[in-house]
Amino acid sequence: MRCKYIILRLFMFLLISVLLRVSPGFAQSTTKEEEQEKTLNVLEGQKLQKESSQEKTPTHRLYSSTAFFSGYDTNARLSTDRKGDIFEEYLFSLDFTKYWPKDINFTFTYDFDILNYNEITDASNILNHFRIGPSKKFALCTLGAGYDLGILYYPHNQDSSFILQKGFFYIRQDISQNTYHKLQFEAGCKAFTDGKAMGDAIDSYQDKERKDKIERLEYRIDSFVYPKLLVSSKTRFSLNDSNARYVDFYDYKSYAETLGADYKLGRNLSLFADFTYIRKVYDSRTVTLRDYKERDNLYGGNIGLKHKTNKRNQLSLYYTYWQNVSNDDLARYTESIITCGWQHLF
Amino acid sequence: MKRILIFFILLCALLFPVFLFAQSVQIIDVQGQILVKKDGVSPWQKAEINMILGKEAEIMSQDKSNCTLAFDEEKQNILTIKENSHIKIENISPGDLFLSEGRVFSLIKNLTKTEKFQIRTPVAVAGARATGWATGYHNGVAFVYCFEDTVYILGMDEAGNITKAIDLQHGFSIDIGTGGKIGKILELTADELAEWNDFKRLIERLSGKTQEGGTESREGLREERNGLRDLRREGREDYREQELEERRQEEEKPYSPSVNMS
């Protein structure tokens, strides 16, 4: 009997505790003192807003990050020899966007990248990449244009160093809130700083450096098909017109298609993958010691994981594979790269 | 009997935390200048995405600023506080807010049959079980816009007594004046519907939002990094071509026209 009484009292205590947590939901009369306190709190908050936050609504966005990668490349020279080597890579990136009135933005990005191969040092290089330009958002689309500069320097193999300058123009449209597509045209010139342009024979050179004129048309579509899954498709047509004369060695037209996906496995873990196919048709270049034109079919892909350890740091591990299936034996190669990396956001 | 008592005490100890609920709200989007008091005693501080707010939390938004809150983990109960607004979270589950100034947009989809989500102003209370609506309060007048399903509205006098109660259907708006005086029911305008659609699109984006700041920035950054990768790939192909050129010279040199001619 006594136990039942205790249980009943405990149950009543629990019930009252639960009921007290449910607010009445209707008007709650407040006393004058509570109202005054509320007003004071509001005034204090408003004063704080004026004093401590004189800055206006953000007018720009700045991201910067640094990353370090290391890995093993099974074919550093992309040749039939297949010599592998360990590499390290350092990357610094800066993304700046300035917001102007009337939906006009100005974007500047800069990347500094150093790739070092331990043994095959002539494949090591330093890359500086700048991209700058305005864009304006209209009711139906966004138009943008700009200038892209890439400077690739091979310290131990300067014949391969070049400066690539391009102007670009694009039109971008949001198909829905989760999907956009973009059409971009770019044209430019790749000037090799030390590499001479080929002459009329395979072993002859002109007095001037090699220069390639480039034109590209690219169509891209990205879509969040599910909140956790982003898929993308990029199609690109390219024209390369070089001043190398021997069988117009570097003149080609190419078609490239890249399909990619990013999938959020968890709150801090995502899986990414992409597959690329490039078809290169040379205008006049013939297969070595043959009289028919060279055709290259490049297949490549990446698959990897990205893990956010915290708000500012991210680890990555990915595998890359490239294969050139060419009708010229000398041009064929396969390459596998395993890379691990760490990225820090400032 | 002792066993029953011990079992009952253990059961209460296990179940008691359930009754506490997860009494917290998460900030899932911040644009512009937003100040928060995380609970009744904390000082004002700048709002940040993923910040957790408790009961009695207050949020203040400045000009051209807004803040979006999630009242559940699945992000099915969402509230966006528009510019120049001040709200206080009086209860989290079920949601109960006091709007002393400004406007809020609410989209509520995840409540049980007995729960309600409501927003109180000095002159009216607007609430629903599963619907989308906006509530505003300025200069002594409350405004309610119903975009989905039905919202119930209770007019209140200065003492907090209910003066009138109506249900507002979707597609209509109403104002409530001093003393809980309920005004005319009007059709929603195109601008109001457009603003509601913007709010819904924001919610859809936030469900896939990352800490980097949203889909746009994620796409933009991804594109730029792809541009870098393309440039690097191009460099490697040029390097390979240069090597190929040298190897081809070795292969073709005995057959090249310059050698034959000499």
Per-residue pLDDT of chain A (346 residues; tens, 9 = 90+): 555 555 566 556 555 554 444 433 333 344 555 555 545 555 554 544 444 433 344 467 788 889 999 999 999 999 888 899 999 999 999 988 888 877 788 999 999 999 999 999 999 999 999 999 999 988 888 999 999 999 999 999 888 899 999 999 999 998 876 788 999 999 999 999 988 888 888 888 889 899 999 999 999 998 888 777 889 999 999 999 999 888 888 999 999 999 999 888 877 888 999 999 999 999 998 888 888 889 999 999 999 999 988 778 899 999 999 999 999 988 999 999 999 999 988 8
B176-201, pLDDT tens digit by residue? 998 888 888 898 888 888 888 888 77
Q: Is A38 left (phi over 0), alpha (psi -120 to 50) or beta?
A: alpha
Taking the alpha carbons at both ends of chain A, their separation in whole angstroms is: 68
Q: What is the mean pLDDT of chain B?
A: 79
Q: What is the pLDDT of residue B1?
A: 58
Q: What distance in Å separates the CA atoms of residue A87 and residue A3, rounded to the nearest whole number?
A: 75
Contact A93 B225 (CB under 8 A): yes
Q: Contact B142/B175 with Cβ under 8 angstroms?
A: yes
Q: What distance in Å separates the CA atoms of residue A345 and residue A310, rounded to the nearest whole number?
A: 10
Contact A177 B242 (CB under 8 A): no
Pairing, β B117-120 against β B96-108 = parallel
- Which of chain A's residues have a Cβ under 8 Å away from the Cβ of B228? 93, 111, 113, 127, 129
Q: What is the pLDDT of residue A133?
A: 93
Range B181-220 burial, b when 16+ CB lie within 10 A, else e: ebeeeeebeeebeebbeebbebbebbbbbeebbbbebbbb
Q: What is the pLDDT of residue A37?
A: 52
Structure tokens at A42: 């509001």
Contact B252 A17 (CB under 8 A): no
Range A183-209 burial, b when 16+ CB lie within 10 A, else e: bbebebebebbebebbeebbbebeeeb
Per-residue H/E/C for A51-119: HHCCCCCCCEEEEEEEEEEEEEECCCCCCCCCCCEEEEEEEEEEEEEEEECCCEEEEEEEEEEEEEECC
| Closest Cα in chain A, distance from residue B255 (Å) | 8
- Which of chain A's residues have a Cβ under 8 Å away from the Cβ of B211? 308, 311
Residue that has been written with the tokens 């990357």 in this structure: A91
Alpha-carbon distances, residue B11 vs A2, A298, B18 (angstroms): 20, 66, 11
3-state SS class at A277: strand
| Closest Cα in chain A, distance from residue B171 (Å) | 23
3-state SS class at A293: strand
* Nearest Cα residue in chain A from B7: A7
Q: What is the pLDDT of residue A189?
A: 96
Rounded to whole angstroms, the maximal C-alpha distance in chain A is: 112
ipTM of the complex: 0.77
Q: What is the pLDDT of residue A172?
A: 92
Q: What is the pLDDT of residue A76?
A: 92
Q: What is the pLDDT of residue A333?
A: 93
- Which of chain A's residues have a Cβ under 8 Å away from the Cβ of B204? 177-178
Q: What is the pLDDT of residue A178?
A: 75
The pTM of this model reads 0.59
For chain B, percent of residues with pLDDT exceeding 90:
19
Q: What is the pLDDT of residue A119?
A: 94
Q: What is the mean pLDDT of each run of 10 residues along chain B (262 residues)?
A: 56 43 75 88 87 90 91 81 93 86 87 78 86 88 89 88 88 90 88 82 62 40 65 88 85 58 38
Contact B253 A202 (CB under 8 A): yes
| Closest Cα in chain A, distance from residue B6 (Å) | 10
Nearest residue to B81 (alpha-carbon basis) of B39, B47, B40: B47
Nearest residue to B106 (alpha-carbon basis) of B143, B80, B142: B80
Contact A123 B248 (CB under 8 A): no
Structure tokens at B7: 């079992």
Q: What distance in Å separates the CA atoms of residue B186 and residue A116, rounded to the nearest whole number?
A: 69
* Nearest Cα residue in chain A from B83: A57
Q: What is the pLDDT of residue B200?
A: 79
3-state SS class at A140: coil
Task: Report H helices in chain A.
Answer: 2-21, 32-52
3-state SS class at A155: coil
Contact A330 B247 (CB under 8 A): yes
